[in-house]
Chain A
Amino acid sequence: MSNALGPGVRGEKYETHEHDVLIIGAGGAGLRAAIEALSRGASVGVVCKSLLGKAHTVMAEGGIAAAMANVDRADDWRAHFRDTMKGGKYLNNWRMAQLHAQEAPERVRELEQWGALFDRTPEGDILQRAFGGHSFKRLCHVGDRTGLEMIRTLQDRGVQMGIDVYMECAVTRLLKDGDRVCGAFGYWREQGRFVVFKAKSVVLATGGIGKAWRITSNSWEYTGDGMALAYDAGAELQDMEFVQFHPTGMVWPPGVQGILVTEAVRGEGGVLTNRLGERFMQRYDPKQMDLSTRDVVARAIYTEVREGRGSEHGGAYLDISHKPADYVKRKLPGMYHQFRELADVDITKGPMEVGPTCHYMMGGVRVDAETASATVPGLFAAGEVAAGLHGANRLGGNSLSDLVVFGRRAGLAAAEHANRAGAGSPGAAQVEEAAREMLVFFERPEGESPYAVHRDLESTMEEFVGIFRNEQDLARGLEKLAELSERSRRIHVEGSRLFNPGWHLARDLKSMLTVSEAVARSALARKESRGAHSRTDYPKVDPEWGGRNIVVRRGTRAMELAERPLLLPPAELQALLAEST
């Protein structure tokens, strides 16, 4: 961290730092990338909007999927690959799914060697639990706080290795030298000072876009920054229509609406029922029932509520109280406390009320499977900000494994790229423009409140770009987004640059609006229902659409959409996919 506190490079107008590899985001993917790049001898800087250790990874609860076969001996990478592809409705980047399934076990063992302490089997190995869409007990876990264990392990490892961390620093623009990315511009949240980073490689590890929806499990940080930065820099985004609504968020009381209720509740035997006491999953997926994939369960609960069979506060009941109280408290301690303290519900005695909450973005920056490189030279992306691994729907547990598998690959490729590439120079004009963009909010004597625009964005996405979509709603949503975009150009920020959340939100809104538009446009273009994308006007899966990914890129005047043919797996993997599980 010494670099972060020290003076900038001499002669620069703004505080300037230079690294071989700059990593934006300090969740699991960013930290794993940093560790890998450092171990390859690169100088590494990590920039994060919050304090170190607070990134969204900390909220991951249920576990990390890896075919270790500690509990179910028959599990192997092939089964994990097949489950991931099946869950993603075969729209996944097959090579990413293969690498992920093959490498996840080694990445988990590595976490253990760095000090992570997973729950154990009676034989003393890492314990694994069942989860939706996984055909074997596959999720390595620590009660219901697996993400905390992971981020603490990676954070301590990275700090010991000597990464420079720029905490509470937000990047607002990628800087380019010709076609290639050569750095980033941002501001310190604390003092509001501007800062320039020069880097040979930049890794995006910024997570998703959940704060564009009203009911969400995501924190203030999840404003689509990395996707918008990549888009502005000319990179392609892909699969933006696929937004995961987690089936089980809290629904009552109002203040906690959207807070995640881990899928591990169902993994440990929790049962969903409606107001009539029916196990309604019988109607939607009689085979997998409560452990069906998230897209199916979210639609099921939504449909039950819409058809008048919802719980008291408009959700479904989720009950684990048939298990011994001690067991529930040991395996789901976070859930036990969360409901007791926030909702006055004792989950060892009665049911929880749950409903869908915006949770995860399957789409993101289009990347190469092996190297995590984006379509712009010098730019890499890993974790939720990247597209491909999860296809049209992500399986629970595949996110944490995604972070470490592709975080490592991104760090490795970024370090190698930095070895080959010379230092670029962004030139003063880009930097000045980036600074001006941040100051304009203070210059208007009056205008829109960023909070008001954000509230309206959340309502718009909730209403028009939610779980079920149709042409009319999406078109209306796009009109609304255009109005919000217009209003965002009139935002006025009160106060100073000293730790001013209103100012930070004003800038984050720009990213949210860009990414929201990409989601709505892609959703309008995909005229079928697949995975998390459900069109009431096109309710069936269309094999034609199964062969195409939609990509979004910045045109000269407006957002442009294009289709890319889906990459097809080699014959032996196709045969594997054809086998029944």
Chain B
Amino acid sequence: MSREAVLQVFRGTAEGGGPVEYRVPVAPGMVVLDALHYIQGHLAPDLAVRWNCKAGRCGSCSAEVNGRPKLTCKTRMDALPADRPITVAPMRTFPVIRDLVTDVSWNYEVNRRIPPFTPRPGTDWKMSQADIDRVQEFRRCIECFLCQDVCHVLREHGKTAQFGGPRFFVRIAGLEMHPLDAGSRTGLLKQELGIGLCNITKCCTEVCPEDIQITDNAIIPLKERVVDDYYDPIARFLKKIFGSGG
């Protein structure tokens, strides 16, 4: 293959940096992560990139490609305009450590605050597939944090202290809607993770590489639960007892 692509990759640290141009030979089916590996292997051995599976399963290689939050392992070079350089920048919402590697430790701190799965006492562990289909959707999350990156509450307003972000609403939805879970996390959602700050612009849903319907299937039902618990606790109690699930 003789075609060359031009990449402008952010190089730098927390102190500053900017795009550096690299020319990379293009092979059929090549993805952006392949190009970054080529740069590491031949042009810039210290280019910092996170990756693991290279198959869209681990969620490590998130970056902003031509300004869009993407998994670089699933972003085909031939899907990007060939007439201009491809820009690759780190996720903007998180502090840069070096080059494309950002400090995502805040996400792990949020995660630790979520009460675990709490099985109902005396359960026989029988569940029907229909009842777990929607929870399995949430559990597809690969923690690429692209939804956190694109969420304007975090990206534009920096509200990491008051807001959990779409990733953790998805995680909580997976616990709250688990057919055998007896815990309640609505207090956490309302008071600490600020679910009310989300105004359902669906940016998170659009960037999810796992096609999880974050807004419609996770955030909106959780907002309803918060409303039920805080403004109509009796209705919520009855729902829980009679298992309509809502």
- Does A145 count as interface, using CB distance less than 8 angstroms? yes
Q: If the complex has contacts A254-B28, A341-B74, are A145 and B126 also in contact, measured as CB distance less than 8 A? A: no
> A298-335 interface mask toward B, CB cutoff 8 Å, 1 = contact, 0 = none?
00000000000000000000000000000000000010
CB-based contact A500/B46 at 8 Å? yes
Assess whether B142 is in contact with A112, with CB atoms less than 8 Å apart.
no
Q: Does B101 contact A (CB under 8 A)?
A: yes
Which of B29-37, B80-88, B152-160 contacts its partner?
A: B29-37
By a CB distance below 8 angstroms, the chain B residues around A498 are 13, 48, 97-98
Chain B residues contacting A115 (CB-CB under 8 Å) are 116-117, 175, 178
Flag if A501 contacts B46 (CB, 8 Å): yes
Partner of A450, one of B45, B56, B59, B76: B45
- B104: Cβ under 8 A from any A Cβ: yes
Segment 140-171 of B: residues with Cβ below 8 Å from A: 140, 142-143
Tell me whether chain B's interface is mostly helix, strand or loop, or mixed: loop
Q: Is the CB of B104 within 8 A of A219?
A: no
Alpha-carbon gap, A167 to B132, bound state (A): 32
Give the Cβ gap from A219 to chain B, nearest Cβ, in Å: 4
Using Cβ atoms and an 8 Å threshold, which residues of chain B touch A56?
52-53
- The answer to whether A142 touches B136 (Cβ under 8 A) is yes
Chain B residues lying within 8 Å of A148, measured Cβ to Cβ, are 57, 139-140, 142
Q: What chain A residues lie within 8 Å of B101 (beta carbons)?
A: 190, 499
B49 within 8 A of A: yes
A535 CB to nearest B CB, Å = 32
Residues of A within 8 A of B105 (CB): 1, 167
Known: A112-B125, A219-B51, A501-B40. A451 touches B45 (CB 8 A): yes
With the chains together, A179 CA to B4 CA distance in Å? 56
Q: B68-101 vs A: 1/0 string, CB under 8 Å?
A: 0000001010000000000000000000011101
A256 to B97: give the CA distance in the assembly, Å.
Answer: 28
When the two chains form their complex, are residues A502 and B29 in contact, meaning their CB atoms are under 8 A apart? Answer: no
A225 at the interface (CB under 8 A from B): no
Contact present for B45 and A119 (CB under 8 Å): no
Interface positions of A from 442 to 498, Cβ below 8 Å from B: 449-452, 455, 493-496, 498
- Among B2-42, those with CB < 8 Å from A are 13, 27-31, 34, 40-42
Q: Contact: B140 with A145, CB < 8 Å? A: yes
B51 CB to nearest chain A CB (Å): 7
**Is B53 a contact of A493 with CB atoms below 8 Å?**
no
Query: Is B46's CB under 8 angstroms from A494's CB?
Result: yes
Contact B28 A253 (CB under 8 A): yes
A-side contacts of B178, CB under 8 Å: 115, 117
Alpha-carbon separation in the docked complex, A127 to B129 (Å): 10
- The 8 Å CB contact of B116, one of A157, A252, A260, is A157
Residues of A contacting B175 with CB < 8 Å? Answer: 115
* B58 within 8 A of partner (CB): yes
B56 near A341: Cβ-Cβ < 8 Å: yes
B116: A residues at CB distance < 8 A: 114-115, 156-157, 160
B127 within 8 A of A: yes
Asked if B58 and A59 sit within 8 Å, CB to CB, the answer is yes
Task: Indicate if the CB atoms of B40 and A117 lie closer than 8 Å.
Answer: no
Contact with A along B104-140 (1 / 0, CB 8 A): 1100110110001101000001111100100110011
Q: How far is the CA of A571 from the CA of B52 in the complex (A)?
A: 45
Question: Given the complex, which residues of A lie within 8 Å of B63, measured CB to CB?
Answer: none
Contact call A338/B55, Cβ cutoff below 8 A: yes
* Chain B residues whose C-beta falls within 8 Å of the C-beta of A455 in the assembled complex: 41
Instruction: Chain B residues near A58: list those with CB within 8 A.
Output: 52-53, 57-58, 142
Q: Mark A157-188, 1 if CB is under 8 A from B, else 0.
A: 10110000001000000000000000000000
Chain A residue numbers with a CB within 8 Å of B99 are 499
Please indicate the chain B residues that have their CB under 8 angstroms from the CB of A343 in the complex: 29
CB distance from A251 to the nearest CB of B (A): 11
Alpha-carbon gap, A498 to B17, bound state (A): 14
A500 to B101, CA, bound (A): 11
Q: Which residue of B lies closest to A449 (CB)?
A: B45
Known: A156-B116, A451-B41, A501-B49. A54 touches B135 (CB 8 A): no
Q: How many whole Å from B149's CB to the nearest CB in chain A?
A: 15
Task: Tell yes or no: A427 within 8 A of B by CB.
Answer: no
Determine the chain A residues whose CB is within 8 A of the CB of B97 once the complex forms: 190, 498-499
Q: Which residue of A lies closest to B29 (CB)?
A: A253
- Let me know if B53 and A219 touch, CB within 8 A: yes
A145→B57 contact, CB < 8 A: yes
Complex CA gap A55/B143 in Å reads 13
- Chain B residue contacts of A55, Cβ below 8 A: 52
Q: What chain A residues lie within 8 Å of B108 (beta carbons)?
A: 1, 52, 159, 167
Are B31 and A255 interface neighbours, CB within 8 A?
A: yes
User: Cβ of B140: which chain A residues have Cβ within 8 Å of it?
Assistant: 145, 148
Q: Is A581 an interface residue (CB 8 A)?
A: no
Contact A342 B29 (CB under 8 A): yes
A40 at interface by CB-CB < 8 Å: no
A152 within 8 A of B: yes
Structural contact, B46 and A117, CB atoms closer than 8 A: no
Name the one of A53, A114, A260 contacting B117, with C-beta atoms under 8 angstroms: A114
A259 located at the interface, meaning its Cβ lies under 8 Å from any Cβ of chain B in the complex: yes
Question: Which residue of chain B has its CB nearest to the CB of A496?
Answer: B46
**Could you tell me which residues of chain A, from 117 to 171, have a CB within 8 Å of some CB in chain B?**
117, 119-120, 123-125, 127, 142-143, 145, 148-149, 152, 156-157, 159-160, 167
Chain A residues 337-374 with CB under 8 Å of chain B are 337-338, 341-344
Considering the chains assembled together, what is the distance between the CA atoms of A149 and B126 in angstroms?
18
The chain A residue sitting closest to B103, CB to CB, is A190
Distance in Å from the Cβ of B16 to the closest Cβ of chain A?
14
Q: Nearest chain-B residue to A500 (Cβ)?
A: B46
Asked whether A220 lies within 8 Å of B142 as measured between CB atoms, the reply is no
> A127's closest neighbor in chain B, by CB?
B129
Given contacts A124-B128, A255-B29, A451-B41, contact A142 B139 (CB under 8 A): yes
List residues of chain B with CB under 8 Å of any chain A CB: 13, 27-31, 34, 40-42, 45-60, 74, 76, 97-99, 101, 104-105, 108-109, 111-112, 116-117, 119, 125-129, 132, 135-136, 139-140, 142-143, 175, 178
Given contacts A127-B129, A501-B48, 12 further A-B contacts (CB under 8 A): A51-B50, A54-B59, A59-B53, A59-B57, A115-B178, A143-B136, A160-B112, A219-B58, A221-B52, A252-B29, A253-B27, A255-B27
Shortest Cβ-Cβ A-B pairs, 9 listed: A253-B29, A495-B46, A115-B117, A124-B126, A502-B45, A451-B41, A499-B48, A499-B98, A219-B52
User: What is the interface of chain A, defined by CB distance below 8 A to chain B?
Assistant: 1, 50-56, 58-59, 109, 112-115, 117, 119-120, 123-125, 127, 142-143, 145, 148-149, 152, 156-157, 159-160, 167, 190, 219-221, 252-256, 259-260, 334, 337-338, 341-344, 449-452, 455, 493-496, 498-503
20 A-B pairs, CB-CB below 8 angstroms? A1-B109, A52-B108, A58-B52, A109-B125, A120-B127, A120-B132, A123-B126, A219-B54, A254-B27, A255-B27, A256-B29, A260-B55, A337-B56, A342-B76, A343-B29, A451-B41, A455-B41, A499-B48, A501-B48, A503-B46
